[in-house]
Amino acid sequence: AQTVTQSQPEMSVQEAETVTLSCTYDTSENNYYLFWYKQPPSRQMILVIRQEAYKQQNATENRFSVNFQKAAKSFSLKISDSQLGDTAMYFCAFRGGGSEKLVFGKGTKLTVNP
Amino acid sequence: EPEVTQTPSHQVTQMGQEVILRCVPISNHLYFYWYRQILGQKVEFLVSFYNNEISEKSEIFDDQFSVERPDGSNFTLKIRSTKLEDSAMYFCASSRRTWSGQETQYFGPGTRLLVL
């Protein structure tokens, strides 16, 4: 069974600085998808960024980028120029190529301080 | 931008009672999902639904649970006889397709269920 581990329960960063959230996963599959979701205090989960395992290039989405290390099974999220609105729980999630379910990590609570 | 909506936002029920949680997926989406998050724990997959059938379910999704798409817009999760351990936040999600892996699951705001 696939597992997703987020080793940082909480992190904080100063506004305008850069922060990196860690995620590792375990799978025997070669074809899969990885996601970062953001859950602000209003509690609606929003997709931040996704990565297909077959793509070597790291995904980027404006201030958000990932460092996908397939051999190491690592998928970290980098937030540049942090903003107060980035304060949220961040969940790393995995989806196997043959499955529809998302497997989530426990989340990292990020606080951006003014 | 279209959103997944869920009602009610909060529900309190007595143990043994039936509850129905409602979701309106994004209108052109064909795949629907329920997840739950017990306080302090991971978000867990319950079930996926496509073409009026369950396409995948987890071990959590036992005979106490059922899903239905009663009309063209709603997607419901029924818990027949609630237990204390069913207390959780329940999230509905929908996506457009999965065959090519291009789908993104869009989540609703959740229903907080409290079983007393």
Residues of B in Cβ contact (< 8 Å) with A100:
31, 33, 48, 55-56, 98
pLDDT digits 0-9 by tens, B22-70:
999 998 898 999 999 998 889 999 999 998 999 999 999 999 999 999 8
CATH code of the domain in which A68 resides: 2.60.40.10
pLDDT of residue B99: 57
Structural domains of chain B, ranges and CATH numbers in brackets: 5-97 (2.60.40.10)
Mean pLDDT by 10 residues, chain A (114 residues): 93 97 95 93 86 92 96 97 96 90 95 96
Tell whether A55 is within 8 A of chain B (Cβ): no
pLDDT digit string, tens, across residues A89-99? 999 999 988 88
A40 at interface of B, judged by CB pairs closer than 8 A: no
Amino acid at B89: M
Please state the domain count of chain A: 1
Whether the Cβ atoms of residue A52 and residue A33 lie closer than 8 Å to each other: yes
* Tokens 């017990």 belong to residue: B38
Q: Is the pLDDT of residue B98 over 60?
A: no
Q: Is the dihedral of CA B101, A49, B87, B24 positive or negative?
A: negative
Sequence-ordered list of residues with C-beta below 8 angstroms from that of A83, at least 6 positions apart, any chain: A15, A63, A112
Q: What tokens does B68 get?
A: 């239905």
d(CA A79, CA A71): 23
Specify burial of residue A94 (Cβ count, 10 A radius: 0-12, 13-18, 19+).
Answer: buried
Q: Is B42 on the interface with A (CB under 8 A)?
A: yes
**Residue A80 belongs to what domain range?**
3-113
| pLDDT score recorded for residue A1 | 76
pLDDT of residue A88: 96
SS3 A22: coil
